[in-house]
Amino acid sequence: MTTTSFSSTGAEPFAADASIEPLLSISLRVNGAQHSAMAPARRLLSDFLRGELGLTGTHVGCEHGVCGACTVLFDGEPVRSCLMFAVSAQGHDVTTVEGLGNDPSHLSPVQQAFAECHALQCGFCTPGFLTTITAFLEQHPDPTPDEARECVSGNLCRCTGYQNIVKAVLRAAELRREAGAGEAWAAGASEAAKATRAAEEGTR
Amino acid sequence: MTTRQLGAPIRRREDPRLLTGNGRYLDDLGAGALHAAFVRSTSAHARIVDIDITDAWEVEGVEAIYTYEDLEGPMAQPLPVLIPHPALTHARTGYALVNGEVNHVGEPVVMVVARDRYLAEDAAARIRVDYEALPVVVGVEAARSASVLVHDDAPGNVAAHLVQEVGDVEAALAAAPHTLTIPLTIERSACMPMEGKGVLARWDRDEQSMRMWSSTQTSTGVRAAVAARLELPLARIHCIAPDVGGGFGVKIVHPWAEELLVPWAARALGRDVKWTEDRREHFISSAHERAQLQEVTVGFDDDGVVLGLDVKVWHDNGAYTPYGIIVPIITSTQLLGPYKPGAYRCEFWSLYTNTVIVTPYRGAGRPQGVFAMERTMDAIAAHLGKDRADVREANFILPEEMPYDHGLMFQDGRPLKYDSGDFPASLAKLKALVGWDDFTAYRKQAEAAGRKVGLGIGCYVEGTGVGPYEAGHVQVETSGRVNVATGLTTQGQGHETAFAQIVADELGVRIEDVHVTTGDTRRMGYAVGTFASRAAVMSGNAIAFAAKAVREKALRIAADALEANPDDLEIEDGVISVKGAPGTSISLSSVAVLSNPLRYAFDEAAKAATQFAGTFDPDKPPVADGEEPGLEGKGVYSPTQATFANGMHAAIVETDPVTAEITILRYCVIHDCGVMINPLIVEGQVHGGVAQGVGGALYERMAYDESGQLLNASFMDFLMPYASEVPHVETDHLETPSPLNPLGIKGAGEAGCIPVSAVIASAIEDAEGFPILSMPISPSELWELRRQHATKGQS
């Protein structure tokens, strides 16, 4: 039963090895930029974004679609990236938290509202809330407190008790309105986010 | 004039990083590392007959497969009993990999290391483990009956038995005009941080040194444990807690098997190795808490004043006791809350079951203790037909009785002695906030509309900021940047902000210039960890001492440079000037230059500190006697005892007359953690604590079947509350400073969750009119209770 062994493979980080399992070329638009990478058919979108593309802002909390930490925008709609294969995103448009704003000194309205309202503690679930709320406010720019609570009721947070997250939804709506309808993300979004938005509008 | 930072609700400095995808959590690190996956026991109690790994080797990309037989020396020894106690007479721990016998579902049996996690799991799925089943113990009742033993050599399934007694309880109960005996039950829940555990290890072959990262609440603890098990000099290993996605207690336990195996494998393979816990693993192989059976016997007079209190607790500690008996000790001591119990005896048995280990989860035994005491207070009030708040008030320790010594030993081995608190003031605030005196009218209105509502209350005292110590280091760079380090870790509490606030005030610098590092043994090798609501108290005061030391040193050097008396100097926004003569000044960055006499100049600022710069007195040594080079200082805070925070909660609930659905209409909190460093952060801690408490009161339970399988080991089935289940929390604060530390602060991290089960039980009982003795409670359980009480009423 003694089992230790050493193998001699010395592959590069994240260069998936076609000798181990068949690889597919996956091309998709992420945060406004075109990306292509090789990955096995079974690679989850969440793992692909984090691993192959190095976008570690998308977090994985349960891998069964309940917690919502891995939520990204898929052609503008919030989806659980742990419940999708990367290959299913072929040719689609994905926005991650980095696409909402990747520069700590330049926050998007939702990110800014979270900072103002102390709507995060450990920050692990936060990216999923940010993407969810960003999409929600696109459709509901002026939510009531009840609607704000409802909008975040599909994401789990273990730290905040949600109260300040609900507050941040309302504050983000305010910030968006201050920034001007339709120009919401321009208030502080990164170039990538702007590009994503342009791409999204292009697809509508 | 800079405004004082301590007490200001400033925004968190870590947030912009965390909000933009720039956090660095464990699984974000180590691109290119090999990945570990584990074969975990599928049986709750069994002997392993055979492990067949042959098929697993057929998976391409597998680098190593390890079983217990591969472990040698200290790695093959049982995991440590971290907190020994004289009453823990039958401590038992598992092994890094199972050695023959499994004692709960989820124990690590085989470790597979492969090119990525998918492949590691492919291989793990091909490993066959044959078990010879043994009888299983699940639940406190089964453990107590001891018809089956978890460990053959732990008779009665008893790990520990402890009695603490103050006064003559038998006599007090015998003499009391009234006595009641109340049986109570609390079920299991768990911390459930959104990020599970995780370990990354990097072995440097050239240096023969280890660098590891762990999603832990104690990097110094992990470092010491790994050094011991891997037989490495401490100087050759460092451990870093990166951004940690929540802890709530479970990550203070160490070393987890994986924290030993991952660095061990990294050294053996000469490759980075990483393991990231998945959610199912977290459910079945981390830790749970809360399950207890209790029996309270109380004697009291006609005013409801408690004369004697006799409490028995049967505590489920799971399969092993690596974290000792901290949880039941806390239950048995913190049960007393803000009250004088008269004569008091608490006896507990800490019992083995074939389930996941039990270690502190936010509140750490207090929610159970408070449940026992507060249910008792309500029972007394019901028995005497008195107002529940009045009965509590009749038993309060009064402010003038502080410090109040209960005559018991607390979890830190030191006296249970309250330092401060104003319980009558807290209660008055709570009654005003919830509208206690108006509730009768509100209930009448509701009843008229066919609705059932109830008002509940719960009070607690929480020992926070336990020792033994924490240390802080503050260093001013020649750029004016202030580096602050403390060894304990951060998992969402905003330490980068709160500690920077303290340094900004104590040193006299702008908060933007202060940069805080926690949980990195390279920066601070001496630390205990983040638990027991201790970080602000312990590291906060240590850092304040360090900042003071730096300030004094800076003033000495500046006084020399400005030819002034240090007492005449002040520091503001990083500039030292003579009071009343603002023109005579020197910047802290210049003082940092002067503090480190140089031979070599690498830039203009450094030139001023070189030997020919003419800035030094030729008759004095370059570094003055008793001084050290550099503008930096260290501080240590080591208190003689814990500081005691307190709070009182009230809730109004509505129970549906037909479906028995339970809705929290209002939730009110009065909270006193002494001086608040940052009210925004304290408020957030309270909100989060209440939400976890609500989960524990109404939704969360670990559903084990009789064979020891956890039936709800996923977020689909374990009902953690969403925003739709958590009420809006109304808060008000009292700030009764702690006399024990210079900042006057007490801990705040756990507070919110402590009394929630007691409060909700109290409110449901008030709505329904029959006792609620077991928590959590679901609508179907409440419906069943209604049926039972209706039947009783008819018979």
Rounded CA separation B317/B305 (Å): 33
Q: Does pLDDT of A191 surpass 80? A: no
Which positions 69-108 of A are in contact with B (Cβ < 8 Å)? 69, 96-98, 100-105, 107
Residue with tokens 């006697």: B625
- Model-level ipTM above the cut of 0.90: yes
Are B633 and B645 in a shared domain?
A: no
Residue from A73, A163, A175, A191 to probe the interface with B (highest B Cβ count within 10 Å): A163
For chain A, how many structural domains are there in total? 2
Cβ contacts of residue B233 below 8 Å, gap of 6+?
A: B227
CA distance B609 to chain A (A): 35
Phi, psi of B288 (to 5 degrees): -120, 180
pLDDT at site A2: 36
pLDDT at site A192: 46
Are B520 and B644 in a shared domain?
A: no
Are A184 and A116 in a shared domain?
A: yes
Q: Are B97 and B311 in contact (CB under 8 A)?
A: no
CA distances from B296 to B173, B186, B767 (A): 12, 14, 23
Decide which of B285, B309, B338 is a domain's last residue.
Answer: B285
CATH code of the domain in which B106 resides: 3.90.1170.50
Rounded CA separation B480/B86 (Å): 51
Cβ contacts of residue B546 below 8 Å, gap of 6+?
A: B471, B472, B473, B474, B484, B633, B634, B635
A157 to B689: CB separation less than 8 angstroms, yes or no: no
Q: Does pLDDT of A16 surpass 80? A: no
Name the residue facing B22 among A4, A5, A104 (closest C-beta).
A104
Q: Does pLDDT of B80 surpass 70? A: yes
Are A27 and A91 in a shared domain?
A: yes
Residue from B10, B12, B14, B15 to probe the interface with A (highest A Cβ count within 10 Å): B15
When mean pLDDT is compared across B53-57, B120-124, B559-563, B757-761, the lowest value belongs to: B559-563
Residue A160 forms part of a structural domain = yes
Mean pLDDT of B621-647: 93
Residue B61 forms part of a structural domain = yes
CATH code of the domain in which A54 resides: 3.10.20.30
pLDDT at site B364: 95
Name the residue facing A98 among B21, B27, B28 (closest C-beta).
B21
Q: What is the band of A124 on the pLDDT scale with cuts at 50, 70, 90?
A: very high
What are the tokens at B258? 């994986």
Q: Are B678 and B657 in contact (CB under 8 A)?
A: no
CA distances from B540 to B476, B497, B603, B639 (A): 18, 11, 35, 13
- DSSP label at B132? E
Cβ contacts of residue A177 below 8 Å, gap of 6+?
A: A141, A142
Are A93 and A63 in a shared domain?
A: yes
What are the tokens at B757? 């089960």
Residue B150 forms part of a structural domain = no
Name the residue facing A4 among B19, B27, B66 (closest C-beta).
B66
Sign of CA dihedral A6, A11, A12, A15: negative
Helix (H) or strand (E) holding B282: helix B279-285
Per this entry, what is the length of chain B?
795
SS (H, E, C) B624-643: CCCCCCCEEEEEEECCCCCE
pLDDT at site A181: 52
Rounded CA separation B406/B771 (Å): 29
Are A116 and A170 in a shared domain?
A: yes
Residue with tokens 């209930």: B443
- What's the predicted TM-score (pTM) here? 0.94
Are A120 and A166 in a shared domain?
A: yes
Decide which of B581, B602, B637 is a domain's last residue.
Answer: B637
Residue B599 forms part of a structural domain = yes
Q: What is the band of B607 on the pLDDT scale with cuts at 50, 70, 90?
A: confident
A126 to B67: CB separation less than 8 angstroms, yes or no: no
Residue A14 forms part of a structural domain = no
Name the residue of chain B whose CA is nearest to A125's CA. Answer: B194
CATH code of the domain in which A123 resides: 1.10.150.120
DSSP string over B717-750: TS----TTTSPPEEEEE-----TTSTT-B---SS
Are A134 and A185 in a shared domain?
A: yes
Q: Does pLDDT of B279 surpass 80? A: yes
Name the residue of chain B whose CA is nearest to A60's CA. Answer: B195
CATH code of the domain in which B451 resides: 3.30.365.10
Name the residue of chain A whose CA is nearest to B242's CA. Answer: A122
Q: Are B634 and B473 in contact (CB under 8 A)?
A: yes
A157: closest CA among B23, B756, B715? Answer: B715
Cβ contacts of residue A112 below 8 Å, gap of 6+?
A: A172, A175, A187, A188
The amino acid at A73:
L
When mean pLDDT is compared across A195-199, B79-83, B84-88, B98-102, the lowest value belongs to: A195-199
Are A113 and A68 in a shared domain?
A: no
Residue B692 forms part of a structural domain = yes
Burial class for A194, CB neighbours closer than 10 Å (0-12, 13-18, 19+) = middle
Indicate the Cα dihedral angle B395, B399, B401, B403, nearest 10°: 120
Q: What is the band of B623 on the pLDDT scale with cuts at 50, 70, 90?
A: confident
For chain B, how many structural domains are there in total? 3
Q: Does pLDDT of A204 surpass 60? A: no
Residue from B20, B60, B686 to probe the interface with A (highest A Cβ count within 10 Å): B20
Q: What is the band of B239 on the pLDDT scale with cuts at 50, 70, 90?
A: very high
Decide which of A97, A132, A153 is a domain's last residue.
Answer: A97
Mean pLDDT of B349-361: 98
A124 to B115: CB separation less than 8 angstroms, yes or no: no
Are B632 and B653 in a shared domain?
A: no
Residue A85 forms part of a structural domain = yes
Strands A71-74 and A77-80: antiparallel
**What range does the domain containing B524 cover?**
470-637
Whole-number CA gyration radius for chain A: 18
What are the tokens at B84? 């020994």
A4 to B245: CB separation less than 8 angstroms, yes or no: no
pLDDT at site B613: 74
The amino acid at B369:
G
Residue A7 forms part of a structural domain = no
Are A119 and A91 in a shared domain?
A: no
Q: What is the band of B615 on the pLDDT scale with cuts at 50, 70, 90?
A: low
Q: What is the band of B123 on the pLDDT scale with cuts at 50, 70, 90?
A: very high
Q: What is the band of B625 on the pLDDT scale with cuts at 50, 70, 90?
A: confident
Name the residue of chain B whose CA is nearest to A108's CA. Answer: B20
Are B617 and B692 in a shared domain?
A: no
Phi, psi of B216 (to 5 degrees): -125, 165
Are B417 and B429 in a shared domain?
A: yes
pLDDT at site B601: 85
What proportion of chain B, given as a percentage, has pLDDT over 70? Answer: 99
Are A126 and A184 in a shared domain?
A: yes
pLDDT at site B792: 81
Helix (H) or strand (E) holding B582: strand B581-587
pLDDT at site A183: 53
Name the residue facing B19 among A67, A120, A125 (closest C-beta).
A120
What are the tokens at B788? 């039972």
**What range does the domain containing A184 cover?**
109-190
B31 to A43: CB separation less than 8 angstroms, yes or no: no
Residue A72 forms part of a structural domain = yes
Name the residue of chain B whose CA is nearest to A51's CA. Answer: B31
B245 to A122: CB separation less than 8 angstroms, yes or no: yes
Mean pLDDT of B550-563: 94
pLDDT at site B40: 98
Inform me whether the C-beta atom of residue A59 falls under 8 Å from chain B C-beta atoms.
Answer: yes
Interior angle at CA B86, CA B82 and CA B87, nearest 5: 100
Q: Are B667 and B728 in contact (CB under 8 A)?
A: yes
CA distance B716 to chain A (A): 6
- Average pLDDT of the residues of chain B: 96
Are A182 and A113 in a shared domain?
A: yes
DSSP string over B178-231: EEEEEEEEE--B----SS--EEEEEEETTTTEEEEEE--S-HHHHHHHHHHHHT
Q: Are B202 and B212 in contact (CB under 8 A)?
A: yes
SS (H, E, C) B307-346: EEEEEEEEEEEECCCCCCCHHHHHHHHHCCCCECCCEEEE
Rounded CA separation B725/B422 (Å): 32
Residue B601: Cβ within 10 Å count: 14
Q: What is the band of A13 on the pLDDT scale with cuts at 50, 70, 90?
A: very low
Rounded CA separation B521/B73 (Å): 25
Q: Which residues of B touch A165 (CB under 8 A)?
A: 723
Are B95 and B42 in a shared domain?
A: yes
Cβ contacts of residue B100 below 8 Å, gap of 6+?
A: B47, B48, B68
What proportion of chain B, given as a percentage, has pLDDT over 90? Answer: 92
- Average pLDDT of the residues of chain A: 86
Q: Are B484 and B503 in contact (CB under 8 A)?
A: yes
Are B118 and B79 in a shared domain?
A: yes
Q: Does pLDDT of B608 surpass 80? A: no
CA distance A91 to chain B (A): 24
Q: Which residues of B touch A159 (CB under 8 A)?
A: 194, 246, 492, 684, 688
B28 to A56: CB separation less than 8 angstroms, yes or no: yes
CA distance A34 to chain B (A): 19
pLDDT at site B624: 85
Are B619 and B714 in a shared domain?
A: no
Decide which of B637, B654, B682 is a domain's last residue.
Answer: B637
Q: Is B39 left (phi over 0), alpha (psi -120 to 50) or beta?
A: beta
Q: How many CB pairs under 8 A join A and B?
A: 228
Sign of CA dihedral B252, B253, B255, B256: negative
Rounded CA separation B368/B358 (Å): 14
Residue with tokens 């290959």: A87
Nearest-10 crossing angle of helices A126-139, A109-117: 120
Mean pLDDT of B725-730: 97
Residue A204 forms part of a structural domain = no
Burial class for B780, CB neighbours closer than 10 Å (0-12, 13-18, 19+) = exposed
What are the tokens at B164? 């603490």
Residue B78 forms part of a structural domain = yes
Name the residue facing A57 among B21, B67, B683 (closest C-beta).
B21
Name the residue facing B722 among A61, A121, A154 (closest C-beta).
A154
Rounded CA separation B212/B236 (Å): 11
Mean pLDDT of B742-754: 94
Rounded CA separation A164/B44 (Å): 41
Residue from A46, A60, A121 to probe the interface with B (highest B Cβ count within 10 Å): A121
Are B651 and B598 in a shared domain?
A: no
Strands B46-52 and B34-40: unpaired
Q: Are B167 and B81 in contact (CB under 8 A)?
A: no
Rounded CA separation B459/B443 (Å): 23
What are the tokens at A150? 């409802």
Name the residue of chain B whose CA is nearest to A156's CA. Answer: B722
Cβ contacts of residue A40 below 8 Å, gap of 6+?
A: A16, A21, A22, A23, A24, B118
Mean pLDDT of B424-449: 97
Name the residue facing B51 among A1, A5, A40 (closest C-beta).
A1
Are B19 and B124 in a shared domain?
A: yes
Are B579 and B674 in a shared domain?
A: no
A42 to B728: CB separation less than 8 angstroms, yes or no: no
Residue A104 forms part of a structural domain = no
Name the residue of chain A whose CA is nearest to B70's CA. Answer: A2
Q: Which residues of B touch A2 (CB under 8 A)?
A: 69-70
Are B563 and B653 in a shared domain?
A: no
Sign of CA dihedral B673, B678, B683, B688: negative
Are A122 and A156 in a shared domain?
A: yes
Residue A199 forms part of a structural domain = no
Are A75 and A115 in a shared domain?
A: no
Q: Which residues of A touch B64 (CB under 8 A)?
A: 3-6
B724 to A149: CB separation less than 8 angstroms, yes or no: yes
Which positions 22-51 of A are in contact with B (Cβ < 8 Å)? 40, 42-43, 50-51
Residue B352 forms part of a structural domain = no
